[in-house]
Amino acid sequence: MPDIGGWEWVIIAIVALVLFGGSKLANVGKNAGRAIREFKEETSSGQKPAATPVVATPEPATGTTGPAVTEPASESPGSVADDPAHHSVAS
């Protein structure tokens, strides 16, 4: 496999600049730098012990998968149903 020298890198950089434009290449470089920084932080934090242990809290077993549904209370004077701000207007 041939080695890529300095002039080859210059040609590749010029072709990339022409194809993608300067703003796209700047965004790609910024995103690559951010990804490398996050990778380094994650790999270095894996070597240190955690400051606080992570404890999973068990969820209550209710037998339902969704939120609890309650029946609306009977309409009483002064309830939300009497408030004109909560009525929808059909056009």
Residue 40 lies in a domain: yes
**40 phi/psi in degrees, rounded to 5:** -65, -40
Residue 43 lies in a domain: yes
The domain total for the chain is 1
Please give the model's pTM, rounded to 2 decimal places: 0.37
Query: Which pLDDT value is given to residue 40?
Result: 94
Query: Which pLDDT value is given to residue 83?
Result: 58
Task: Tell me the residue range of the domain where 37 lies.
Answer: 21-48
Residue 36 lies in a domain: yes
Q: Tell me how far apart the alpha carbons of residues 59 and 36 are, in angstroms, rounded to a whole number.
A: 36
Query: Which pLDDT value is given to residue 86?
Result: 57
Residue 32 lies in a domain: yes
- What would the two tokens of residue 27 be? 């965004």
Residue 26 lies in a domain: yes
Residue 31 lies in a domain: yes
**Sequential pLDDT tens for the chain (91 residues):** 678 888 998 999 899 889 888 888 889 889 999 999 999 999 987 765 555 656 666 666 665 565 666 666 555 555 555 556 655 555 5
